[in-house]
Structure 1
């Protein structure tokens, strides 16, 4: 079994355009994929914002990723957000 953390980020008012620009910048970074990265999913949250769900092997590796990506978030206009961490008992990827 693969364990880790589920990271959920709610971005009120976040747009698909902001998300896609941020993703383009991050995927172009020399350090992508970040250490501990397992999987990522995102989409509209149903109330006019954007939701991101990431799976990392640890909270520490996710936070290290955020520090590297912070300038990219700012460049694309993403507002500062607080991630919500939950333990993942099992992560299955294809």
Structure 2
């Protein structure tokens, strides 16, 4: 089942996000299997929010195993992702 993964990063900055995103997207394994879409931006409270769409929770967790060392390397704080069922996506 496809899922929406939401990650809130309290106190996270655009600079941290961009540094981390640049590292991940230049990896030889990117895009990872099961990846559908990614969006990110300020959360309105001084932190950062990431929302991903994945073909399955398992695909996301496999990505997370590969990406966690990069998160640590770039100084991203540890977070707990929220995973919810994905019912529909509309793209114009």
Partner in structure 1 of residue 66 of structure 2:
68
The answer on 1:44 being equivalent to 2:42 is: yes
TM-align CA RMSD: 1.1
Unaligned runs of 5+ residues in structure 1 are none
TM-score scaled by length of structure 1? 0.93
TM-score scaled by length of structure 2? 0.95
Partner in structure 2 of residue 19 of structure 1:
17
Question: What is the aligned length?
Answer: 92
| Alignment check: 8 A CA contact 1:39 1:93 kept | no
What aligned pairs does 1:1-20 form with structure 2 within 5 A after superposition? 4-20=2-18
Partner in structure 2 of residue 77 of structure 1:
75
Q: Segments of 4+ in structure 1 off by > 3 A?
A: none
Unaligned runs of 5+ residues in structure 2 are none
Partner in structure 2 of residue 53 of structure 1:
51
| Alignment check: 8 A CA contact 1:4 1:90 kept | no
Q: 1:71 Cα deviation (Å)?
A: 1.1
